[in-house]
Amino acid sequence: MSNVTITNHPLIEHKLSILRDVNTNPTVFRHLVNELGALLCYEATRDLPIRPVEVQTPLTAMTAYEIEEEIALVPILRAGLGMVDGIWDLVPNAHVFHIGFYRNEETLQPIEYYNKLPKDHPINICLLLDPMLATGGSAIATTNILKRWGAKKIKFVGLIGAPEGITALQNAHPDVDIHLAAIDERLNERGYIVPGLGDAGDRQFATLF
């Protein structure tokens, strides 16, 4: 069964509280999604393979280490977009491939509308980015696509998960590690995470009317 890692840290707790607040405006919300993504990335990349590299410091030659493999960041549009920049700053050699899903509001099923994966260049290690793991449908569908593409190690990095979504993703893909800032109580009848933070896409892009 996949590991679920909740990164507990005072900075994460503090930022998450502001993110959840209904009065937080889109500019601050976007900023926090970005920062929280970067903080979670630190733990999610802890086991990246590294290899020795010879470095000449101003004083002497030494053996240091560099990340061995190509890394793909795969944000699920739209809300996952907000997590890219902070993580990309930490993993500057990463490639970014966008996948678009929206949830059908009645069935809650994910509907694919965009896929920018290069067909002939699969990357082994993928960080799948989406702030919300609600029913798990979007994460499962994206993981299916990434595995068909050829990805060997996939980690889901999100901000808030519902128990239902975590269980669904674990059952569908037991090899996918899950990194979150918090596990909330439940889903409501409309598939929203409670207490959650509302609609992560609408709150980032100011499309809540």
Catalytic residues: 103, 107, 199, 202
List the Cα angle 141/145/150 in 5-degree steps.
Answer: 145
Per-residue contact flags (x/-) with ligand URA for residues 103 to 132, judged by CB under 6 A = -----------------------------x
Calpha distance 128→157 (Å, rounded): 6
Minimum CB separation from ligand URA for residue 16, in Å? 14
Q: Binders of ligand PRP among 96-115, rule CB under 6 A?
A: 101-103, 108, 110
Residues 166 and 188: beta-carbon distance below 8 Å: no
Please report which helix (H) or strand (E) contains residue 183, including its range.
strand 182-183
Count of residues in the chain: 209
Region 185-204 residues binding ligand PRP, contact defined as CB under 6 A: 191, 199-202
The smaller minimum CB distance to ligand URA, of residues 71 and 81, is found at 81
> What φ, ψ does residue 119 adopt, rounded to 5°?
-60, -40
Nearest to 162 by CA among 108, 119, 97, 124: 108
Binding of residue 85 to ligand URA (CB under 6 A)? no
- Please choose, from the candidates 47, 71, 37, 30, the residue with its C-alpha nearest in 3D space to the C-alpha of residue 160: 37
Contact string 146-185 vs ligand PRP (x = CB under 6 A):
-------------------x--------------------
By the 8 A CB rule, do 132 and 169 touch? no
Amino acid (1-letter code) at residue 133:
L
User: Which one of 16, 71, 134, 178 is in contact with ligand PRP (CB under 6 A)?
Assistant: 134
# residues contacting ligand PRP (CB under 6 A): 24
Query: By C-beta, is 91 or 141 nearer to ligand URA?
Result: 141
Question: Contact letters (x/-) for ligand PRP, 37-76, by CB under 6 A?
Answer: ---------------------------------------x
Query: CB-wise, 93 or 207, nearer to ligand PRP?
Result: 207
Q: Tell me the β-bridge partners of 69.
A: none
**Interacting residues with ligand URA (CB under 6 A):** 79, 132, 134, 191-193, 196, 199-201
